Amino acid sequence: MNKKNATCFIGCSLTKYMEKLEEIKKNYRYRKDELFKRLKVTTFAQLVIQVSSVANLNESIMDEIPRLEDDVSEIDHLIDQNNDSPQRTPQPVKFIDNNESGDTGFSPRSTLQSVISGVGEMDLDKNGQKTISPTPVTTPSSAERPYMDCPYLLLDVRDRDQYDQCHIISAHSYPIATLSRTMNPYTKEVLDYKNAPGKIIILYDEDERLASQASTTMCERGFENLFMLSGGLKVITQKFPEGMTTGTIPISCLPSPKGSSGRKYSTHCQTVQLAERKWRFTSEDLNKIQHYLDEVLIPSETSSRLSSRMSTGSAHSKVSSARSSRQGSVSSRAQSSRPWK
């Protein structure tokens, strides 16, 4: 690498370093006496992807086990019926009984059709009368529940109105004013996760103003597994514009507009949409998070490779210059040692 390219590379790396420092000053509020630990936004994104993939895999396995058990029990029941019933010629199954009452005949197919149509599973009692078993009460789907045995508890310490407008998916509303209560300042989820092995509590807000206060207070009260999300919602929306949040992103968290066109877009074209009650990330959300995560991590890897190449190149140039200086000194010594003619 020649001197011109080396100077250009150093200038670019210095510019990026200064931009990084400016971003840290603008979005982060580091203090030397912080009692809590910090969690990077990229680390939280990787945690979300891992937790979602493991939870989906475990639930698919748990859903498959009852089906297999039902299939085995049904096969055993059919085998017992065939062993107990005498040999007889098979009769065609009638789906509709042409009697005066017009009742539908009962067969496995008609029972299946009745279940599909929503009537419920029909059975015949001892007297031959049909009884309809009530349809079981539907439980909320997995998408409407938090992840089972989730390793993190995400708390939004802003006001409830701000939480309803926009928040990170899977976050619980926990306003900072809750800590000021004399009675029951903690929810059941907070007490379950407090210093639990293999569990962490993550606090966030928009710009670390409230989250740092809440984190300090909770650490002083004995929370040892507490983290604060560095940068808060502001950095989340900058690094992950899609996939991580639900609702309308606050204007204060959006990047500063450049020019009048961006200002018009932020004030007039933004439609307010309330956040959904989402406890889980969809596959589309995870794909978007992975996409932005790759964009964030790949440039740092390439810059580190370039810097390593730069260092190795400078080392090689130093070695070559040292060799040339040694050769020049040897040749000068040889010329000086020659006798005068």
**What DSSP designation does 3 have?**
H
Per-residue model confidence as pLDDT tens digits over 154-183: 999 999 999 999 999 999 999 999 999 989
pTM as predicted: 0.60
Would the pLDDT of 200 be above 70? Answer: yes
Distance CA 239, CA 134 (A): 50
**Percentage of the chain lying above the pLDDT 90 cut:** 40
Please give the pLDDT value at position 272.
Answer: 78
Selected from 3.30.870.10, 3.40.50.410, 3.10.100.10, 3.40.250.10, the CATH number assigned to the domain covering 38-58+143-254+272-297 reads: 3.40.250.10
Model pLDDT, residue 55: 86
For residues 209 and 228, give the distance between their C-alpha atoms in angstroms, rounded to a whole number. 11
The whole-number pLDDT of residue 261 equals 46
Contacts of 274 (CB under 8 A, 6+ apart): 164, 165, 247, 248
Residue 260 has a pLDDT of 45
Contact of 173 with 125, CB cutoff 8 Å? no
Worst-scoring range by mean pLDDT, 57-66, 110-119, 165-174, 323-332?
110-119
What are the extents of the domains in the chain? Answer: 38-58+143-254+272-297
Q: What burial letters (b/e) apply to 170-202, b meaning 16+ CB within 10 Å?
A: bbebbbbebeeeeeeebeeebeebbeeeeebbb
Question: What average pLDDT score do residues 44-51 get?
Answer: 94
Query: What count of Cα atoms within 13 Å lies in the side-chain half-sphere of residue 121?
Result: 5
Q: Is 305 helix (H, G, I), strand (E, B) or coil?
A: helix
Q: Could you tell me which of 230, 249, 238 has the C-alpha nearest to residue 168? A: 249
Does position 111 have pLDDT exceeding 80, yes or no?
no
Least confident residue range of 5-19, 33-47, 268-282: 5-19
